[in-house]
Amino acid sequence: MDRTDLQRLSKEELIELVLRLQHPPKTSRTSSKPPSTDRKQRRDQAKPGGAKPGHEGHSRILSATPDEVVEHRPDRCSGCSAVLMVDWPAETISIHEQIDLPEITPRVTQHRRLAVCCPACGTRVVAPVPEAAKRTPFGPRVHAMATYLKTFQALSYERLQGTFADLFGLTISQGGLMNMLRRAQDAFATERDKAVAALRQARVVASDKTGVRIEGCNAYHWVFRCAEAVVHHASPTRGAIVVRTMMAGHRPEVWCSDRYSAQQGHADAHQTCLAHLSRDVAYADEASEDVLPSRLKLWLHRAFALAEEVATLAASTLARKRRALERSLDDILAAPTSCDLARDLQSKVRRARDQLLTFAHWPGLVEATNNACERALRPAVIQRKVTNGYRAMWAAAGEADIRTVVDTARLGPETNAFKTILQTVSA
């Protein structure tokens, strides 16, 4: 906007523009912007690195099953030079470990099909075609490694090709890698269907979404979460039809999400993510001189405190604290304000009034925030930033299935992504 454009503005428009420019810039603390967009602090004002005062130190946990143990014994006494026999008792003073990776080379098995000429009748007998010749030459561990590196380490086909060549001495074309990934993705359909079935029986469901590029167009990566499953889904739209199709008529008791309209009305009750609301309140508290955002900020602190202890409180105590929060919120919403920013925030909270303390009606079952869904979406956001999206819909849908199976397995104890992928493609 240059001088000519400014001269064409009315007095009211100029006032509105100046007031808008006076607002502080939004950051990851006061909006949904990622932390990477925040301006870095000046070096002389930045906090010093290293451990903070009072931080408890940690050290590497020693292996309980070492592959080799080497004992270092003294052979002579430092006092009298007497020989110390090997079979004399000794105590362990310290343990030091040296860790290295073995050289990794592909294990190649050749299946040779032979023919034998019968000496009795002269018939040439050919062995049947082995099963190994009827399918891909690459085994399940190669498929699992390619799937893991592509999906969870966000490697491009070119970098994935280089990784196999440099680390494993295995030459695979980019087309071969693509075919390998397509074959591996088919193995996740069964476990994905189980996760979707669990979602369609859940009492409490949470959802969230993020943008992604698929086939050069804007699309969306959805995530649905319940106590038994985490379901990822790639879709060209962010409309409510995605939720209705995923739930297939099932209506849970509680739904948790942000205030986006497509995620509303899918359950008997709704919990608005208080973390989203807290960022809006933090921005209004910085930008406005009105006291109302500060009051809402204090109210949210009390709500978060209640959410932390909600599962440990007696029913009567929980009801008393919930009623106190409701009365306090009613007072805040009824308070007069002359600040436009505070008034807009007041209207936003008023529209979500019945969805803020739903967690207190389902203690231990409903979270006050939707942070679990946001954490599940974070790898997809990183993938989008690194690779700029997917060239084909099958790639986006297949990766969503892989994340569904892996994230659902992570709800249980002692699991990791690669082991889950290897078990799935080996089944």
Work out how many domains the chain is built from and give that number: 1
Residues of the chain with pLDDT under 50: none
Does some domain include residue 286? yes
* Continuous segment of H or E residues that includes residue 343: helix 340-351
Tell me if the pTM is above 0.75.
yes
Alpha carbons within 13 A on the beta-carbon side of 361: 13
pLDDT of residue 285: 86
pLDDT of residue 427: 85
Does some domain include residue 325? yes
How far apart, in whole angstroms, are the C-alpha atoms of residue 282 and residue 287?
9
Does some domain include residue 16? no
In one-letter notation, the amino acid at residue 315 is A
pLDDT of residue 35: 65
Does some domain include residue 230? no
- Compute the 3-state secondary structure of the chain and give helix, strand, coil in percent, each to the nearest 5: 50, 10, 40
Give Cβ neighbours of residue 134 (< 8 Å, ≥ 6 apart): none
pLDDT of residue 187: 95
* Domain housing 304: 274-364
Does some domain include residue 302? yes
**End-to-end Cα distance, the chain:** 62
Contact 222, 207 (CB under 8 A): yes
- Judged by DSSP in three states, 299 sits in helix
Pairing between β-strand 204-214 and β-strand 124-126 as defined by DSSP bridges: unpaired
Q: Give the angle subtended at the CA of 374 by the CAs of 373 and 378, to the nearest 5°.
A: 120
How far apart, in whole angstroms, are the C-alpha atoms of residue 268 and residue 252?
7
Pairing between β-strand 124-126 and β-strand 230-235 as defined by DSSP bridges: unpaired
pLDDT of residue 339: 85
How far apart, in whole angstroms, are the C-alpha atoms of residue 424 and residue 194?
13
Contact 333, 279 (CB under 8 A): no
pLDDT of residue 388: 85
Does some domain include residue 278? yes
Does some domain include residue 311? yes
Radius of gyration, CA atoms only, the chain: 30
Q: What is the pLDDT of residues 44-97, one digit of tens each?
A: 566 666 677 777 777 888 888 999 999 999 999 999 999 999 889 999 999 999
Pairing between β-strand 124-126 and β-strand 254-257 as defined by DSSP bridges: unpaired
Q: Which two tokens stand for residue 400?
A: 């969503």
Does some domain include residue 65? no
pLDDT of residue 23: 65
pLDDT of residue 73: 92
How far apart, in whole angstroms, are the C-alpha atoms of residue 307 and residue 56?
28
Q: What is the pLDDT of residues 181-204, one digit of tens each?
A: 999 999 999 999 999 999 999 999
Q: Please, what's the largest Cα pairwise distance for the chain? A: 110
